[in-house]
Amino acid sequence: MLSCYGIETNSPPSPRIGHSLHYLKKSKEIVLFGGASIEEGTSNDIYIYNLSKNKWTKQKIVYKESNGKLSKIPEPRYEHTGIIIENKDGEEELFIFGGTTGVKLLNDSFIYNFKKNIWREVKTTGDIPSPRSINSGVYVNNEFLKNSVVIFGGSQYNTQAINDPSTYILNMDTFKWKKINATLSPSIRLGHTMTYNPISSEIYLFGGLNNTEVYNDLWKFNCCSLSWEKITDDEKNSPKGRSGHTAIMYSNNLYIFGGMQSNPPHVFEDINVYSIREY
């Protein structure tokens, strides 16, 4: 039986939209980055929520590296992609890509180290994705695709999806982007979710929108063949089309919560579960 309930906390972050929220498995904490609010405008702050203490803490960023060089921090932004990665020392770090300042779209990359409380800008090469917001991405580290970030889709203006059906893979060792032009892929979209399943070594993409069209299709990306496949075995029970929802993978099940549609306007409060077959 699934249930949801609210939690009263101390000094929470200001109300905001377009932020990213992440779970740190090793420290069992929740991380919030960026977003836009009426009170504070566009933000680049980081808050950490300690689950055991029920306490929010705003991180005090270190602006100088150990060699004395000033570190560059991300511009305030929202609707970016945020992903928890793992560095060579086994530490969890926050990787962010793109987003919008509210004035311009971005395609820069940064990594935040929680232990040192410091940002570093990542100068990437290769097939760098064009500036975009409201795209989605995941971190993958398996025998087929090692230490990589995979992204797809995004917006170029409001609800207009960027005209780019390619999948992009960033090698986190070389910081080089690789563009994958698959024969078959999801249609261009924004506001979708991408979730990695370590059991099957596949990435699952659900929903999203382009202009007024919302999607409820489910796709999986094979990390070995670098190819997409549309999942059609349970379409009749698929959730209604939506964007702006959230998704997690747990014990070979894909959980999808919430989201919205614009025509007619509706905000979803449901939880849908897709059970992944084991072959």
- pLDDT per position as a tens digit, 118-172: 999 999 999 999 999 999 999 999 999 999 999 999 998 888 999 999 999 999 9
203/205 Cα distance (integer angstroms): 7
Domain boundaries, the chain: 15-58+73-122, 124-279
pLDDT tops 60 at residue 279: no
The answer to whether 122 and 109 are in contact (CB under 8 A) is yes
- Angle subtended at Cα 269 by Cα 242 and Cα 185, rounded to the nearest 5 degrees: 25
Cα–Cα separations (whole angstroms), residue 184 to 29, 210, 219, 235: 38, 18, 10, 18
- Provide the 3-class DSSP secondary structure of residue 236: helix
Q: What's the predicted TM-score (pTM) here?
A: 0.94
196/152 Cα distance (integer angstroms): 13
Q: Which pLDDT score, from 0 to 100, does residue 235 have?
A: 73
pLDDT tops 60 at residue 97: yes
Comparison of pLDDT for 39 and 94, the residue scoring more: 94
Q: Which amino acid, one-letter code, is at 259?
A: G
**CA 277: distance to chain centroid?**
24
Residue 190 banded pLDDT, cuts 50, 70, 90:
very high
114/120 Cα distance (integer angstroms): 12
Q: Which pLDDT score, from 0 to 100, does residue 263 have?
A: 85
Structure token pair of residue 267: 């905000």
Residue 278 banded pLDDT, cuts 50, 70, 90:
low
Q: Which pLDDT score, from 0 to 100, does residue 8 have?
A: 86
Across the range 32-59, mean pLDDT stands at 95
Burial 238-251 (b: 16+ CB within 10 A, else e): bbeebbbbebebee
DSSP annotation of 199 reads: T
Q: Which pLDDT score, from 0 to 100, does residue 1 have?
A: 67
- Angle subtended at Cα 129 by Cα 128 and Cα 134, rounded to the nearest 5 degrees: 145
Across the range 174-201, mean pLDDT stands at 97
Q: Which pLDDT score, from 0 to 100, does residue 128 have?
A: 99
Q: Which pLDDT score, from 0 to 100, does residue 98 have?
A: 98
DSSP annotation of 164 reads: -
Residue 103 banded pLDDT, cuts 50, 70, 90:
very high
Domain spanning 124-279, CATH architecture: 6 Propeller (2.120)
Please name the helix (run of DSSP H) or strand (run of DSSP E) that holds residue 194, with its range, or none. strand 193-197
What would the pLDDT profile of 60-72 be if each residue is shown by its tens digit?
998 877 677 788 9
- Provide the 3-class DSSP secondary structure of residue 235: helix
Structure token pair of residue 246: 């959230």
Percent of the chain with pLDDT over 70: 99
Across the range 6-11, mean pLDDT stands at 84
What rounded mean pLDDT belongs to the chain? 94
> Which residues face 206 on adjacent strands?
193, 218
